[in-house]
Amino acid sequence: MIDDILLDKVYRDRITGFEGTAVAKSEFLSGNKRVCLESGNNTCNSVEMWVDISRIEIVDGDRCVGFHSPPEEIG
């Protein structure tokens, strides 16, 4: 299920309502899986929140921040 979480997509925590871009994922020996959501504002401050993946929902499947650049051609 952690592989279904795509980095650079916007998710919301269903419990707190916190919304942010998925910037990291982690999986613990105990089996707990979490994703780090990062949200910024117009003053260039950002807030991060680690959330269990069972609590998140995707906000918009097409919405992303644009961290990923197209792969470079080797040639």
Tell me the per-residue pLDDT of 10-34, one tens digit each, with 9 for 90 and over.
999 999 999 999 999 999 999 999 9
For 50-66, the DSSP string reads EEEGGGEEES-TT-B--
pLDDT value of residue 13:
96
Residue 66 has pLDDT above 70, yes or no: no
pLDDT higher at 47 or 72: 47
Long-range interactions of 22-25: CB distance < 8 A, separation 24+:
23/48, 23/67
